[in-house]
Amino acid sequence: MVPQEAYRPDAGAMTTAIHVRGLTKRYGDVQAVGGLDLEIQKGEVFAILGPNGAGKSTTVEILEGYRKRDSGEVRVLGIDPQKPTREWRAKLGIVLQTANDAAELTVRETIRHFAAYYPMARDPEEVIAKVGLTEKADVRIRKLSGGQRRRVDVALGVIGNPELLFLDEPTTGFDPEARRQFWDLIKGLAAEGTTIVLTTHYLDEAEALAKRVAVIARGRIVAAGDPATLGGRATAKAKVTWADGLVETDTPTRTVLELSRRYDGEVPGLAITRPTLEDIYLTLIEAPE
């Protein structure tokens, strides 16, 4: 008889997309990742935030199977990325940071060609429409703008109908309108049940897309959770400012009532603010060891 407990890790693997325990990676003297833990569930949109050089890209590239780790336990869709199989790769979509390849092929040729790599690819025409490149389908990639090229990258990331999609700083260099369109695209994929791991520098992007975020600094996760409550954001003191004063308080409503009485009605220049995700983020990444 096999004890019931023996089956538990498998039951967990059914719902866990990414499991990381004690991940470390060192480049020469630099400890890029120093004991990182991460758990991402299937169907989640998860954002990884962090300054350049924090270990963000190294971590993601280890998860994608591009880099070898020094130590730690890593499972991505139940597989060790250091021993990738074609079947495993077929379930993954990867949108890399920068690429200038296939410049002489048209959008349609490139997407059709990549579709052939996957056992159950999406319809190339549908994907082209989804990323908004229908009008550019027969244009060579070399002639596209930066934002259009990025959409080709995304199209190639999703053409294989992935269970898990990695997006590495996907909207860098986008204008605000293109970013909104891109967000809609990602929300659509998430609604279809695709697990999405996003790294980004833009905190509004993380807040708009992700249910959970993790902040990486100095090779570790310094905070993780719902962006609305990250780092005690929801319970942090509110800041009440007015024409000639400033108070940090847990009870801003009472402060405003008192002020209203003092000024006999309208308080000049009144504003109540709570820390933004950016405030929290900056505190987290600047905190000493």
Partner 1 sequence: MTTTAAEKATHTAPLPSALALGLSRAAVETRMFFREKDAVIFTFSFPIILLVLFGSIFSDQFKGTGITVSQVYTAGLIGAGVMGAAFQNLGIGIAIDREDGTLKRLAGTPMPRSAYFVGKMLSSLVIALLEVLILLAIGVFLYELELPTDVSAWVTLTWVLVLGMAGAALLGIAASSIPRSAKSAAAVISMPFVVLQFISGVYIPFTELPPWLINISSVFPLKWMCQGLRSVFLGEEGARLELTGSYELGRVALVLGAWVIGGLVLCLMTFRWKGRRDG
Binding flag, residue 83, partner 1 (CB under 8 A) = no
Mark residues 52-81: x for contact with partner 1 by CB under 8 A, - for none. Answer: ------------xxxx--------------
73 versus 101: smaller Cβ distance to partner 1: 101
What residues have CB less than 8 Å from 244, skipping those under 6 apart? none
Binding flag, residue 109, partner 1 (CB under 8 A) = yes
Contact 92, 164 (CB under 8 A): yes
Subset of residues 155 to 194 that bind partner 1, contact rule: CB under 8 A: 156, 160-161, 163, 193
Tokens of 200: 């980004």
Pairing of strands 245-249, 238-242: antiparallel
Mark residues 117-146: x for contact with partner 1 by CB under 8 A, - for none. Answer: xxxx-------------------x------
For 110-176, the DSSP string reads HHHHHHTTSTTPPPHHHHHHHTT-GGGTTSBGGGS-HHHHHHHHHHHHHTT--SEEEEESTTTT--H
Binding flag, residue 107, partner 1 (CB under 8 A) = no
Which 3 state secondary structure label does DSSP give 229? Answer: coil
Binding flag, residue 104, partner 1 (CB under 8 A) = yes
Exactly one of 99, 236, 259, 285 binds partner 1 (CB under 8 A); that residue is 99
What does the binding site for partner 1 look like in residue numbers (CB under 8 A)?
27, 64-67, 86-87, 89-92, 94, 96, 98-105, 109, 113-114, 116-120, 140, 156, 160-161, 163, 193
